[in-house]
Protein backbone atom coordinates (compact mmCIF):
# COMPACT_ATOMS: atom_id res chain seq x y z
CA UNK A 1 0.00 0.00 0.00
CA UNK A 2 2.97 2.30 0.47
CA UNK A 3 3.56 2.45 -3.31
CA UNK A 4 -0.09 3.38 -3.87
CA UNK A 5 0.18 6.19 -1.36
CA UNK A 6 3.46 7.40 -2.83
CA UNK A 7 1.90 7.39 -6.30
CA UNK A 8 -1.11 9.35 -5.09
CA UNK A 9 1.01 12.10 -3.55
CA UNK A 10 3.71 12.22 -6.26
CA UNK A 11 4.43 15.71 -7.54
CA UNK A 12 3.94 15.02 -11.26
CA UNK A 13 2.85 12.45 -13.83
CA UNK A 14 6.41 11.17 -14.34
CA UNK A 15 6.81 10.35 -10.65
CA UNK A 16 3.31 8.84 -10.51
CA UNK A 17 4.19 6.63 -13.46
CA UNK A 18 7.42 5.45 -11.85
CA UNK A 19 5.57 4.49 -8.65
CA UNK A 20 2.98 2.62 -10.68
CA UNK A 21 5.76 0.77 -12.52
CA UNK A 22 7.25 -0.21 -9.14
CA UNK A 23 3.84 -1.43 -7.95
CA UNK A 24 3.31 -3.49 -11.11
CA UNK A 25 6.79 -5.02 -10.77
CA UNK A 26 6.10 -5.90 -7.14
CA UNK A 27 2.72 -7.51 -7.91
CA UNK A 28 3.85 -9.48 -10.97
CA UNK A 29 6.89 -10.79 -9.08
CA UNK A 30 4.46 -12.39 -6.61
CA UNK A 31 3.04 -14.60 -9.40
CA UNK A 32 4.75 -18.00 -9.58
CA UNK A 33 7.05 -18.20 -12.59
CA UNK A 34 6.90 -14.48 -13.43
CA UNK A 35 10.05 -12.43 -12.85
CA UNK A 36 11.02 -8.89 -13.74
CA UNK A 37 13.19 -8.93 -16.86
CA UNK A 38 13.83 -5.23 -17.57
CA UNK A 39 12.36 -1.81 -16.97
CA UNK A 40 12.16 1.07 -19.45
CA UNK A 41 13.18 -0.99 -22.47
CA UNK A 42 13.72 0.99 -25.69
CA UNK A 43 13.62 -0.69 -29.10
CA UNK A 44 16.65 -0.63 -31.40
CA UNK A 45 15.26 2.31 -33.41
CA UNK A 46 14.85 4.33 -30.21
CA UNK A 47 11.24 5.01 -31.22
CA UNK A 48 9.28 3.03 -28.62
CA UNK A 49 9.61 2.24 -24.94
CA UNK A 50 8.05 -0.51 -22.85
CA UNK A 51 7.81 0.42 -19.20
CA UNK A 52 8.15 -3.03 -17.62
CA UNK A 53 9.00 -6.42 -19.17
CA UNK A 54 8.58 -9.73 -17.37
CA UNK A 55 9.72 -13.24 -18.18
CA UNK A 56 6.99 -15.84 -17.71
CA UNK A 57 8.18 -19.44 -17.46
CA UNK A 58 4.53 -20.61 -17.57
CA UNK A 59 4.35 -22.38 -14.23
CA UNK A 60 1.11 -24.23 -13.65
CA UNK A 61 0.24 -22.08 -10.61
CA UNK A 62 1.26 -18.90 -12.43
CA UNK A 63 0.27 -17.69 -15.88
CA UNK A 64 0.74 -20.74 -18.14
CA UNK A 65 -1.81 -19.42 -20.64
CA UNK A 66 0.21 -16.27 -21.45
CA UNK A 67 3.33 -15.83 -23.58
CA UNK A 68 6.91 -16.08 -22.29
CA UNK A 69 7.43 -12.32 -22.46
CA UNK A 70 4.92 -9.99 -20.80
CA UNK A 71 5.16 -6.31 -21.68
CA UNK A 72 3.44 -3.68 -19.55
CA UNK A 73 2.99 -0.09 -20.68
CA UNK A 74 1.89 2.32 -17.95
CA UNK A 75 -0.36 5.22 -18.91
CA UNK A 76 -1.36 7.98 -16.53
CA UNK A 77 -4.79 9.50 -17.07
CA UNK A 78 -5.89 12.87 -15.72
CA UNK A 79 -7.87 11.24 -12.91
CA UNK A 80 -6.56 7.69 -12.60
CA UNK A 81 -3.41 5.66 -12.67
CA UNK A 82 -4.30 3.10 -15.32
CA UNK A 83 -1.92 0.32 -16.36
CA UNK A 84 -2.42 -0.99 -19.86
CA UNK A 85 -0.98 -4.43 -20.31
CA UNK A 86 0.17 -5.65 -23.68
CA UNK A 87 1.18 -9.26 -24.00
CA UNK A 88 3.30 -9.94 -27.04
CA UNK A 89 6.05 -11.98 -28.65
- Residue 48 confidence (pLDDT) above 70: yes
On the question of pLDDT at 85 being above 60, the answer is: no
pLDDT at 68 over 70: yes
pLDDT at 87: 44
Number of other CB atoms surrounding residue 28 within 10 Å: 19
For residues 38 and 81, the model is more confident at 38
Distance between CA atoms of residues 58 and 15, nearest Å: 32
- Across the range 42-71, mean pLDDT stands at 91
pLDDT at residue 89, as a whole number: 35
Amino acid sequence: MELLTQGDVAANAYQKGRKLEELIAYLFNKIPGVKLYKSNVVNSANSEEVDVAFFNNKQKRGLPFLEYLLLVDVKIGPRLLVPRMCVSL
